């Protein structure tokens, strides 16, 4: 009887535990799976809204531009306009400055247009719009020439960026615009805009900037061979020129070396060393003083490593034969 009572109590306890488990399941809220977040797809600002906007534009060269009856006028709405409206506005600007040279006297309008319209379009992801803007920049510096100095802080960074980070046809347009800038603008003004890029993280951009720094120095020295620069200018240039020697791209260092050689030759050893000692120190100073010395190329012709060295004079066989002949004549 005792065993039965114990088994009955155990069964009763099991039944109570089972009922409690069922009640807890009934009161538990159903489990809901959390769906993963829907990725937000950011639409390219230069992409068309629909297929109807896929219109082909032919970018006209300077010679292909024809005169328009309408003159370009700056409007604030062009900043947020569609890419097609911006394209038409830039093309109209190109036509205006080509056929109406007097319009280029509106420096304030051109400065605002360049900063807020042309330069942003030159950096656009849409290649058609960017090509049109790059051609416009080249034509602006050509027309304005020395008067384009106020545009250089906006133009040069965009042109340098485009010259090293895009496809070849875009690089060609950017290089052409940079060539025009060095040719028509004040070389010293262009130089001072290029020097800060000596410490840029993009090695290709540093190389490109160093190349055009050399072109600016060569142009300014050719225009005034006797005294092209002042000592105060070298004081402000020497640190950036030394930074070009730290370029990770091997192609960027030769131009910097030639610039230092040219400046040392122009200022003389005493002035150059004094300014270098004032602004530089350590390994940088040592490299600048060492690399700025022009070394004459050796006139000795070195044989190719794979060819047999040719010693001056008679060979060993010829000397032995000559000695034998002399012995025979003596006897």
pLDDT of amino acid 2 = 45
CB neighbour list of residue 52: distance below 8 Å, 6 or more residues apart: none
On whether residue 134 sits in a domain, the answer given is yes
Q: Would you state the structure tokens that stand for residue 150, as one six-digit string?
A: 């106020």
CA–CA distance, 92 with 72 (Å, rounded to integer): 6
Contact 141, 185 (CB under 8 A): yes
Mean pLDDT by 10 residues, the chain (331 residues): 52 62 50 41 45 62 88 92 94 93 88 94 92 95 90 94 88 95 94 94 94 94 82 93 91 92 92 94 92 66 50 70 79 65
Q: Shortest CA distance to 60 belongs to which of 134, 122, 164?
A: 134
pLDDT of amino acid 36 = 40
Contact 293, 247 (CB under 8 A): no
Q: Would you state the structure tokens that stand for residue 110, as one six-digit string?
A: 């051109």
pTM, two decimal places:
0.71
Phi-psi category of 297—alpha, beta or left, where left has phi over 0 and alpha has psi -120 to 50?
beta
Give residue for tokens 């070009």. Answer: 244
On whether residue 202 sits in a domain, the answer given is no
On whether residue 145 sits in a domain, the answer given is yes
Give residue for tokens 């091997």. Answer: 250
On whether residue 205 sits in a domain, the answer given is no
Contact 169, 157 (CB under 8 A): no
Number of other residues whose CB lies within 10 A of the CB of residue 96: 21
Q: Coil, strand or helix: which one is 218?
A: helix
CA–CA distance, 304 with 281 (Å, rounded to integer): 40
Provide the domain count of the chain: 1
On whether residue 123 sits in a domain, the answer given is yes
Q: Which domain holds residue 88?
A: 58-185
CA–CA distance, 223 with 186 (Å, rounded to integer): 11
On whether residue 10 sits in a domain, the answer given is no
Number of other residues whose CB lies within 10 A of the CB of residue 40: 5
On whether residue 35 sits in a domain, the answer given is no
Question: Using CA atoms in the order 293, 296, 297, 298, what is the torsion angle rounded to 10 degrees?
Answer: -120
On whether residue 70 sits in a domain, the answer given is yes
């Amino acid at each position: 009887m005792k065993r039965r009572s114990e088994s009955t109590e155990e069964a009763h306890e099991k039944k109570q535990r089972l009922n409690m488990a069922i009640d807890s399941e009934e009161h538990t809220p159903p489990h809901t799976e959390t769906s993963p977040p829907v990725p937000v797809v950011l639409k390219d600002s230069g992409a068309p809204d629909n297929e109807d906007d896929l219109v082909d534009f032919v970018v006209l060269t300077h010679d292909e531009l024809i005169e328009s009856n309408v003159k370009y006028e700056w409007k604030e709405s062009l900043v947020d306009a569609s890419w097609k409206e911006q394209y038409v506005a830039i093309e109209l600007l190109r036509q205006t400055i080509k056929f109406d040279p007097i319009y280029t006297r509106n420096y304030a309008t051109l400065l605002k247009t360049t900063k807020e319209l042309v330069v942003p379009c030159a950096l656009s992801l849409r290649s058609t719009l960017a090509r049109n803007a790059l051609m416009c920049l080249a034509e602006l510096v050509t027309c304005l020439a020395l008067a384009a100095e106020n545009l250089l802080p906006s133009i040069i960074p965009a042109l340098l960026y485009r010259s090293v980070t895009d496809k070849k046809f875009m690089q060609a347009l950017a290089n052409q615009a940079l060539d025009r800038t060095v040719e028509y603008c004040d070389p010293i003004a262009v130089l001072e805009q290029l020097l800060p890029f000596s410490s840029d993280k993009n090695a290709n951009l540093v190389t490109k900037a160093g190349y055009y720094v050399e072109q600016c120095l060569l142009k300014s020295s050719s225009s005034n061979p006797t005294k092209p620069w002042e000592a105060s200018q070298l004081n402000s240039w020497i640190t950036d020129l030394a930074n070009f020697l730290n370029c990770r791209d091997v192609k960027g260092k030769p131009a910097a070396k030639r610039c230092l050689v040219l400046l040392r030759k122009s200022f003389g050893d005493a002035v150059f060393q004094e300014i270098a000692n004032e602004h530089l120190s350590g390994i940088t100073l040592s490299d600048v003083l060492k690399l700025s010395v022009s070394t004459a190329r050796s006139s000795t012709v070195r044989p190719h490593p794979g060819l047999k060295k040719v010693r001056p004079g008679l060979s060993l066989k010829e000397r032995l034969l000559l000695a034998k002949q002399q012995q025979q004549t003596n006897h």
